Structure 1
């Protein structure tokens, strides 16, 4: 009993330090909002050390095992063969920026970060109550505290539970505040961009491109929180300048020996002539204002009602003097508090009820200013089609070279060898029939091998099962041949155009190969659906994650294939997995398939 009491008070003393951790993280977040981004990650890492110590003590003293809840840490950057570090399409001489950026993204996107902050705020009060209860309950109070800690600091199941009304609306209020905070951050960076554009326009391009990550964050989080998709509106960057016949680079009437200045001038013009740049600046001023107007009523109503409940039932019973919840009269009895409680509850409901709708309106307003216009969509489509045409031409040339190489090095050499053996058979058939028969048998085996190789080559160009049975059965056949456990579900009411089927089929084959060779996956699920003129394929594996389309030639090949059909590849692959690839191919249906709605599963070979 005495040992349990000592341990409970020791945990309570350690818990008081959680308020210091929460204060440091809050200050670091406020500093982050004004653009000083390098302090937030060390603050969270420092606080996680205290959480790790608490988990260790709880596991030893409270007999409740608490595992770390964090996602796997990002991998260390790897130096390329040319000595550079690569992050997406950017090259760096040193790895510290890539390492910091990956760690910052890992911390910000991990749900355990927000849960840990909530634990830091609430834990001291609960730990003090546990210490007092341990005077009577002993080890039982420690087990209560262990379960409390495991709920906040332990891992959560992957499948999220169904949210109740209060949870959904409080979360929506948090989303409103989040969009408001990101809007103010966007305002700060917009002011910086405007100052640089007006004062030093040649230096504006790198700053504007860097600040667009803030706008991308606002677009992404607003879409994740409210379901309002906001696409990037920017025009594609200019290509490298082409030198003249004499090797010089021309910009207007000026010639340059090196391409540096023409590149900088082209990027500056690209930034200044892009309407999305000026819309971002205007949105930086208007989005915080509109978000404040939409958020203020809900915050006032919810805060007023919550203050009333705290005063009436959380503060009044512990003080001798009466309390007053403005503008209502003072209350000193339970009956008076009960009479004022309905008004506080009404204010709470009035503040929370419109929060989801208001959050969506905030996101729609963000889409008005930070989303693409019709002119921007048309320009992006033209640029994408131009790029896809170039990619398709290059891919077709490479495919023709591959087929020619396979025919020349494989089947052609076999046919030449067979011709030589036929000549030997003609020479031996009269005076050495046994040797002629042996050569004839070798010719028969060689012809079978050539036929098998020819069938494999034809299958690589266009599988017969794809032409005869359609995409669903072809994917099922690939799943049965895969060494992984593959689940295939399909809801395709009709067969689509053959070029689109071939594009989706080879993309699925490439993704299955990546899951087996690079991801270390054991299980893959493939879902095929068709709706509103779009064939959608979702491939999910349980591998190690960390896949990037910019670094994988196979994924780039999938993007090139999809680009020919104006399709898209969306890849989500956090470190530690799972990896989800979503393929969307616009196409038309031609006729009903043999099995419009199917589900199959393959085991390990």
Structure 2
């Protein structure tokens, strides 16, 4: 019985997808007509100005088609467009030279036909079922010819009505439970075949992104090495040289002036303690020791406790992770909370960390004034570079007036 209900539910959902496809048909007609008019007028300056907007409209229509297919198949339909930017001629060349523009147009034109056809077939199944249910009324009505035919059988008596209609209804219902999902699958497959960016293009773009993030990671690594070298040279090394000089002088003064030698040794001891503190700070900048001692949950709790703004921290599903992932997560949260304290004017913030076998998700939010901008020097660009180096994803939502939410996903499989 549960299988019957499940198949019936699938048929109903498939009908909904087909009806959504039918509702897209008038929108496709509008998009196709506007593109045709602007394309034909692109020889004029006004046409060149309007053309990118018509293409943007078609991209939106194609996006609705992709969502329709993704909702039925359960996986997204990838799309990679050439950015529309530059002057009038550059924008026109970008949209006309983008293969996805013509894929969108091809699908829009084809969907005007297939959307009507597939939805018509789907509605035909339901129409047949409705006709079966209404047949007893037709048969019993005072019609001129008191006979109704169904599947070649004349319904001229109640026994035939009671035998033929249920059998025909059941046959149509069983067939429809298979036909309707097949029609929705065919619609989704057609959308994917036309609107999905070819795999070779996605692969080329992926290689370009990885090359860019690798270059950024190498640059960041080089900058970090230079910072460590500078800190060691200008700080710890200078202090060690000073300590060695004090101890050398104290060694020479010890027979003649023990008091002065003891003073220099005391100064060297204090300088040694300061050097050890500085070295710990440098090491903490490379890999925070708290990660090794308490793991990411303990490190997040420590960061939340040190933040001047009240922070609520929750960590779920996180055990020991690769060192690079833990360090990146630590520095992302540390930088984000630093931005909250310095720039947000927030009364409170929240840190949520969730892990699964494949992905570590970080979410830092605050109730401040919003309007965060990567170009304003708030460290967001550094966060994005650090995350991209691990092939992660960064998403920032910060409308003016707040709230601000930074979401980071780091692969950890």
Matched residue, 2:328? 503
Distance 1:517 1:428, change over 3 A: same
- Aligned counterparts, 1:317-466, within 5 A: 371-466=196-291
| Residue pair 2:66, 2:192 contacting (<8 A) in 1 also | no
Which has a greater percent of helix?
A: 2
Is it true that 1:233 corresponds to 2:57 in the alignment? no
Instruction: Report the alpha carbon displacement of residue 500 of structure 1 after superposing the two structures with TM.
Output: 1.6
3-state SS of 2:222 partner = helix
Instruction: Report the alpha carbon displacement of residue 378 of structure 1 after superposing the two structures with TM.
Output: 1.9
3-state SS of 1:234 partner = coil
- Aligned counterparts, 1:45-124, within 5 A: none
Matched residue, 1:573? 398
| Residue pair 1:233, 1:370 contacting (<8 A) in 2 also | no
3-state SS of 1:495 partner = coil
Structure 2 unmatched ranges of 5 or more: 1-16, 121-180
| Residue pair 1:235, 1:380 contacting (<8 A) in 2 also | no
Q: 2:319 aligns with which of 478, 494, 500?
A: 494
- Provide the rounded CA distance (Å) in 2 between the counterparts of 1:419 and 1:401: 25
- Provide the rounded CA distance (Å) in 1 between the counterparts of 2:220 and 2:206: 20
| Residue pair 1:566, 1:585 contacting (<8 A) in 2 also | yes
Instruction: Report the alpha carbon displacement of residue 484 of structure 1 after superposing the two structures with TM.
Output: 1.4
- Provide the rounded CA distance (Å) in 2 between the counterparts of 1:364 and 1:572: 34
Instruction: Report the alpha carbon displacement of residue 518 of structure 1 after superposing the two structures with TM.
Output: 1.8
Query: How does the TM-score come out when normalised to structure 2?
Result: 0.65
Instruction: Report the alpha carbon displacement of residue 551 of structure 1 after superposing the two structures with TM.
Output: 5.2
Distance 1:399 1:515, change over 3 A: same
- Provide the rounded CA distance (Å) in 1 between the counterparts of 2:23 and 2:240: 69
- Provide the rounded CA distance (Å) in 2 between the counterparts of 1:533 and 1:182: 39
Q: 1:276 aligns with which of 100, 108, 116?
A: 100
Is it true that 1:534 corresponds to 2:359 in the alignment? yes
Query: How does the TM-score come out when normalised to structure 1?
Result: 0.46
Q: 1:484-514: CA deviations, max 9, x gaps?
A: 1111112225322221221222111121111
| Residue pair 2:28, 2:111 contacting (<8 A) in 1 also | yes
Q: 1:114-161: CA deviations, max 9, x gaps?
A: xxxxxxxxxxxxxxxxxxxxxxxxxxxxxxxxxxxxxxxxxxxxxxxx
- Provide the rounded CA distance (Å) in 1 between the counterparts of 2:373 and 2:22: 32
- Aligned counterparts, 1:160-199, within 5 A: 186-187=31-32, 190-191=35-36, 194-195=39-40
Instruction: Number of aligned residue pairs: give it.
Output: 330
Instruction: Report the alpha carbon displacement of residue 555 of structure 1 after superposing the two structures with TM.
Output: 2.0
Instruction: Report the alpha carbon displacement of residue 556 of structure 1 after superposing the two structures with TM.
Output: 2.1
Q: Which moved more, 1:372-381 or 1:498-507?
A: 372-381
3-state SS of 2:216 partner = helix
- Provide the rounded CA distance (Å) in 1 between the counterparts of 2:406 and 2:66: 19
Q: Which moved more, 1:553-562 or 1:519-528?
A: 553-562
- Provide the rounded CA distance (Å) in 1 between the counterparts of 2:195 and 2:382: 30
| Residue pair 2:21, 2:68 contacting (<8 A) in 1 also | no
| Residue pair 1:216, 1:232 contacting (<8 A) in 2 also | no
- Aligned counterparts, 1:258-269, within 5 A: none
- Provide the rounded CA distance (Å) in 1 between the counterparts of 2:357 and 2:69: 23
Q: 1:315-343: CA deviations, max 9, x gaps?
A: xxxxxxxxxxxxxxxxxxxxxxxxxxxxx
Instruction: Report the alpha carbon displacement of residue 470 of structure 1 after superposing the two structures with TM.
Output: 2.0
| Residue pair 2:339, 2:378 contacting (<8 A) in 1 also | no
Q: 1:396-435: CA deviations, max 9, x gaps?
A: 1111111111111211121122222223212322222222
Q: Which protein has the larger Cα radius of gyration, Structure 1 or Structure 2?
A: 2
- Provide the rounded CA distance (Å) in 1 between the counterparts of 2:357 and 2:114: 34
- Provide the rounded CA distance (Å) in 2 between the counterparts of 1:454 and 1:549: 31
- Provide the rounded CA distance (Å) in 2 between the counterparts of 1:396 and 1:222: 43
- Provide the rounded CA distance (Å) in 2 between the counterparts of 1:182 and 1:529: 41
Distance 1:459 1:215, change over 3 A: farther
Structure 1 unmatched ranges of 5 or more: 1-171, 239-259, 297-356, 589-605
Is it true that 1:525 corresponds to 2:350 in the alignment? yes
3-state SS of 2:327 partner = helix
3-state SS of 2:379 partner = helix
Matched residue, 2:141? none
Matched residue, 1:335? none
Instruction: Report the alpha carbon displacement of residue 395 of structure 1 after superposing the two structures with TM.
Output: 1.0
3-state SS of 1:496 partner = coil
Distance 1:187 1:551, change over 3 A: farther
- Provide the rounded CA distance (Å) in 2 between the counterparts of 1:550 and 1:561: 16
3-state SS of 2:333 partner = helix
- Provide the rounded CA distance (Å) in 2 between the counterparts of 1:538 and 1:364: 35
